[in-house]
A and B are shown apart, each in its own frame.
Chain A
Amino acid sequence: MFSLKIWGDRGSMPTPGPETVLFGGNTSCLELRADGRLVIIDAGSGIRQLGDSLMRTDLKNGPISADIFISHTHWDHIMGFPMFTPIYVPGTKLNIRGPITYEDETLENVIGSQLSYRYWPVRQEELAAAIEYEQIKESTYDLGGGLFLTTKYLNHPILCLGYRFEYRGRSIVTIYDHEPFRNIFPTDPSDPSYDAEAAKEGDLAAAEENDKILRFMEGADLVVHDAQYTAKEYLASKVGWGHSSYETAINACHRARAKRLLLFHHDPNRGDVELQELELFYQSRVGGKTGLVVEMAREGTTYVVEG
């Protein structure tokens, strides 16, 4: 079986309460299963419940062993780590991998320093689990057991990786946190800092990088894509924040001939009613025009890609 379960799909900050019951209020955490293999993507607040679930279901079959891939080290993607119960259980083995930004410290320090007395009552050194950290880049990895991973740098204020997992000819891709690459050089000749060459190269570079993203998710069975804003919100005040609009995510997945799109990284200010309305709106807009299935990511839902 090749499947993905959503344990957290909220952007920026957990949003508990009656407004977020349907789509969930936990920040990013995905559980990927490739038969016996467990892969976790991101350690946002959703990882707490995933940990409890593993304790109930997996531990009885032997010690928990998992690969954790961190998309990037912004807080909403790592904040749940100290509450991931398996780290306190002897025998647990974790391989934590992710990108770190040039000026930052090691991945171990960035994630593990949350477990220091000033933030948390248990120190990293006291954890019972065997944890290995590895900084990864844009590359292809054979994870063993027929599971392959390709990584791609996305466009976000810090280094951020998109992940493409392939198993038995099927693929699950994550594209968050991500904003389409754009030319950040002035393109208006009347702009005092306009430079024709930079403007042209900037246009070309942005277009080529966006093409690479399309190729990265080409034909994917399931794409989990950043969709924090509507196009209107994005253009009004969110350009450069490192997130995509629903429109961008839908168009990109359609062009890449992906099969199913989960709109992900819900804005913390959006409640269930609004998300449901938006889901219906975009589904009606694309209905009949594309083979792509579009839906909002829902916490607690499992998507089986191959049975």
Chain B
Amino acid sequence: MAKDNIERIQTYVGSMASLPVTVSKVLEVCNNPKTSPIDLDRVIALDPVLMGRVLKLINSAYYGLGTQVTSLVRAIIMLGVNTVKNLALSTAVIDRFSSRKGFSAINMDGFWRHSLCVGVTSKLIAQRRGADPKTLEEYFAAGLLHDIGKIPMNDALGEDYMLAVSTADRDRIPLHLAERKVLGVDHAIAGAAVAKAWRLTGAINDAIVFHHALPAYEDENWEVLLTVAVANYFAGREGIGFSGNLYPEKLPPDIFDRLSIQKGLLEDLEGPVNAEIEKAKVFLRQAK
């Protein structure tokens, strides 16, 4: 059965739309209030799929423009940076997070909120630890995408995945263990298939594949991985969003020492994390 399930996931992943250069790049540019028209044009134009979708939305009945707009520069001049920014944001992120059928086992809104929370929390922790500013967006993307494997699990396995989620709930065990027990495959394995298809490498890949296997990980991206794990713990503890994991595993006792942070740091994060998520609400609405 496990083999069969893995095949179903792989078939599904093969049919998923490709990820643009990086979702985090779009987010980074769009979340910056100082984004200039040229920054926006460049980051969207980097990805033909994203650009096509933005232009499609601009030319859609939503705006009812009299003429066909075929260049992004023109769209930015006609509709303004803000409008195109929001279009790009919702297109870049939500399209890839929302499944074609809509989450059945896990609520889509809750899943997305959880992912966003882990993304912004990872970035904030990295900031507090004095991480290189150039790497902050990587922390964000790693956190944002860590649970991405749950999308093919949910979409490809349908009711079976619902059974896994309810098993985790009933047996009070972490979701990834319930997934293995019921389906013979977990969202880390499914996530690895997504990472491979989207050519996600480095820290982002490692966060997706190893976030429930911290002790086994001995590679160079341990700081990002452990940070994402702490952020994931924080999201669960604070009840920000929900991705099906009511009974998460305990964090390794030495994790705060290894990251050279105090556990108390998390107490200060609640405000900033909520503020960051609030900013993103605008495109959360567009997902529905």
Contact = CB atoms under 8 A, between A and B. Distances in A.
- Residue with the highest number of chain B CB atoms closer than 10 Å, among A137, A198, A206: A198
A158 B80 CA distance: 8
Interface in B71-90: 71, 73-74, 76-83, 86-87
B39 interface: yes
Contact of B282 (A103, A158, A186, A204): A103
Contacts of B61: 137
Nearest to A105: B285
Contacts of B81: 184
Contacts of B63: 137-138, 153, 159
A181 B78 contact: yes
B73 A201 contact: yes
Interface in B256-281: none
A102 B76 contact: no
B2 interface: no
A184 B64 contact: no
A102 B73 CA distance: 18
Contacts of A185: 37-38, 41, 73, 76
Contacts of A202: 37, 73, 77
B45 to A, nearest CB: 9
B66 A138 contact: yes
B221 interface: no
A106 to B, nearest CB: 12
A185 B74 CA distance: 10
A193 B36 contact: yes
Interface string A48-66: 0000000000000000000
23 contacts: A102-B62, A102-B83, A103-B285, A138-B63, A138-B65, A158-B82, A159-B79, A159-B83, A182-B77, A184-B76, A185-B76, A186-B38, A193-B38, A195-B38, A195-B42, A197-B73, A201-B74, A202-B37, A202-B77, A205-B73, A205-B74, A205-B78, A209-B77
Contacts of B36: 193
Nearest to B84: A102
A303 B73 CA distance: 40
Q: Chain A contact residues: over half helix, strand or loop, or mixed?
A: loop
Interface in A132-147: 137-139
Given A102-B83, A158-B82, 11 more contacts: A101-B83, A102-B86, A137-B64, A138-B63, A138-B66, A139-B64, A157-B80, A185-B37, A185-B76, A201-B74, A202-B37
Q: Chain B contact residues: over half helix, strand or loop, or mixed?
A: helix
A278 B221 CA distance: 66
A3 interface: no
A73 to B, nearest CB: 14
Contacts of B62: 102, 137
A103 B82 CA distance: 9
A209 B76 contact: no
Interface of B: 36-39, 41-42, 61-66, 71, 73-74, 76-83, 86-87, 282-283, 285-286
Interface in A2-37: none
Nearest to A206: B77
A86 to B, nearest CB: 30
A159 B64 CA distance: 12
A302 interface: no
Interface in A63-91: none
A113 interface: no
A127 to B, nearest CB: 26
Nearest to A242: B80
A183 interface: yes
B77 A181 contact: yes
- Residue with the highest number of chain B CB atoms closer than 10 Å, among A102, A137, A182: A102
A205 B80 CA distance: 12
A64 B81 CA distance: 41
Nearest to A193: B38
Contact of B78 (A101, A103, A158, A209): A209
Nearest to A183: B77
Nearest to B58: A102
A102 B85 CA distance: 10
B64 A157 contact: no
Given A153-B78, A183-B77, A198 B83 contact: no
Contacts of B79: 153, 159
Given A103-B282, A138-B65, A198-B38, A157 B82 contact: yes
A103 B86 contact: yes
B68 to A, nearest CB: 12
Given A139-B64, A201-B71, A184 B77 contact: yes
Nearest to A186: B38
A155 B62 CA distance: 17
B201 to A, nearest CB: 28
B61 to A, nearest CB: 8
B18 to A, nearest CB: 25
